[in-house]
Structure 1
Amino acid sequence: MRESFHDDLKRLNGRLAAMAEAAAEAMRRATQALLAVDLPLAEQVLSGDADLDDLRATCEDEAYSLLALQAPVAGDLRAVLAVVYCAEKLERMGDLAAHVAGTARRGHPEPTVSADLEPVFAELGEVTSAMADRLADLVRGEARGGYAELSRADERVDALHARVMATVTSPDWTHDQRIAVALSLLTRFYERFADQAVSVAKRLEFAATGDLPG
């Protein structure tokens, strides 16, 4: 029974890693759609968000089945409960990527991001998608140390977020105030995406070690 349990848990973790990869790709493509003013790509991200919702539902159903049928304890119990917690966070990350794509769609055919801030948003997309990719690695491998690593990446996202806010609230801002509002909301989506990634890394490390980092 224990061997069967760990086979099931491995399959469950595979689904969780797939969710992290999907969230990474969604944010990567949403950022591309935003900066290139690419409406079809934005639509693809929005329509693909349902796949992450389905993956979360599958993860939860399988996790609850394991809890009911196998009654895991200690580390095994932490591992199963972590899947439920992390699947919810990863689905939320997909939603945030969809919000970025939705912003690109609403602004089309005009660019939402002003030319002076394009490099900042390009970096936001790179850092946040890399964080989600790293989560997939942590699910499949050694989770110890992942929280500290992603917390450092989150600090970079926070700094970029602060740069955008300082720019759009500056007296020197020359663009339309509607653009300033859109950019303020937009950068918040990236910041929340990064926060969710850190939460996932924290829970994965707790599941692996029994010690809550932070």
Structure 2
Amino acid sequence: MRDLYQEQLTGLADALADMCGQAALAMEHATRALLDADLQLAEQVIADDVRIDDLRVAAEEKAFGLLALQAPVATDLRVVISAIHGAGDIERMGDLALHVAQAARRRHPQSVLPDEVVPYFTEMGKIATALARKAGDVIRSRDVETAATLEADDDAMDDLHRHLFSVLMGPNWSHGVGPAVDITLLGRFYERYADHAVTVSRRVVYVVTGRMPGPLTV
């Protein structure tokens, strides 16, 4: 029975890590759709969002089943509670990738992004995707030191987000209010996506140490 219980806990962690992989793929594809004005890829991201929603439901059902049938304590209880919260964070990451894809679809066949902001979103997309994949690795490994590195990645995202505003507010911006609003919202989507990935990693630190950290340091 104990072996089965541990297998169930491992399966719960694997389910969350798989969600991270799906969220990473969603943001990778949504970013490509945004950069290339690729309507077909944007539609794919939008259609596939239900998969992440379904994974959340399945993960929560596993977690609540463990609470009801196994009455976990100590570290095991932290695993289950963190999984319930983490599933919500990861689903939100998928929703934010969905919003990026919807922006690309809404402006098609025109590109949402003027040329001067394309490098920002190229890099933000890479960072966001890497954060989601790293969060999945942290869930599987429970590696606190790797969890801490997500903070530095998130700092890089925050820096890009701030610099993006310097372009929008600068004297050379010539694209008007509409595109500025679109870009402001898109930048926020990427920033929040990164924040949720960091929160997932913090929950892993809580599982291992029993303490929910503030900003993580290696």
The normalised TM-score by structure 2 is: 0.96
**2 CA distance for matches of 1:66 and 1:147?**
25
Partner of 2:78: 78
User: Once the 2 structures are TM-superposed, how far is the Cα of residue 117 of structure 1 from its aligned partner?
Assistant: 1.0
Partner of 1:170: 170
**2 CA distance for matches of 1:187 and 1:147?**
24
> For 2:178, what is the secondary structure of its paired residue?
helix
**2 CA distance for matches of 1:55 and 1:162?**
33
**1 CA distance for matches of 2:208 and 2:22?**
23
Letter in 1 for 2:12: L
Partner of 1:150: 150
User: Once the 2 structures are TM-superposed, how far is the Cα of residue 143 of structure 1 from its aligned partner?
Assistant: 2.9
Letter in 1 for 2:109: P
Partner of 1:179: 179
Does structure 2 conserve the Cα–Cα contact (< 8 Å) formed by 1:147 and 1:213? no
Does structure 1 conserve the Cα–Cα contact (< 8 Å) formed by 2:135 and 2:198? no
Does structure 2 conserve the Cα–Cα contact (< 8 Å) formed by 1:146 and 1:202? no
Q: Percent identity?
A: 44
Letter in 2 for 1:92: R
> For 2:212, what is the secondary structure of its paired residue?
coil
**2 CA distance for matches of 1:208 and 1:91?**
23
The range that moved more, 140-149 or 64-73, is 140-149
**2 CA distance for matches of 1:213 and 1:2?**
30
**1 CA distance for matches of 2:28 and 2:19?**
14
Segments of structure 2 that go 5 or more residues without pairing to the other structure are none
Partner of 1:46: 46
Does structure 1 conserve the Cα–Cα contact (< 8 Å) formed by 2:161 and 2:191? yes
Partner of 2:205: 205
The range that moved more, 25-34 or 133-142, is 133-142
Deviation per CA, 1:80-103, whole angstroms, max 9, x where unpaired? 111101000000000000000001
Does structure 1 conserve the Cα–Cα contact (< 8 Å) formed by 2:142 and 2:204? no
> For 2:19, what is the secondary structure of its paired residue?
helix
State how 1:63-74 maps to structure 2 within 5 Å: 63-74=63-74
**2 CA distance for matches of 1:144 and 1:5?**
24
User: Once the 2 structures are TM-superposed, how far is the Cα of residue 12 of structure 1 from its aligned partner?
Assistant: 1.2
**2 CA distance for matches of 1:40 and 1:111?**
14
CA RMSD of aligned residues (A): 0.9
Deviation per CA, 1:148-201, whole angstroms, max 9, x where unpaired? 211111111011111111111222211122101100000000000001111111
Q: After TM superposition, which residue ranges in structure 1, 4 or more long, deviate above 6 angstroms?
A: none
Partner of 2:138: 138
- Residues 57, 87 of structure 1: alpha-carbon distance in 2 compared, 3 angstrom cutoff: same
Letter in 1 for 2:65: S
The normalised TM-score by structure 1 is: 0.97
State how 1:14-163 maps to structure 2 within 5 Å: 14-163=14-163
**2 CA distance for matches of 1:142 and 1:19?**
16
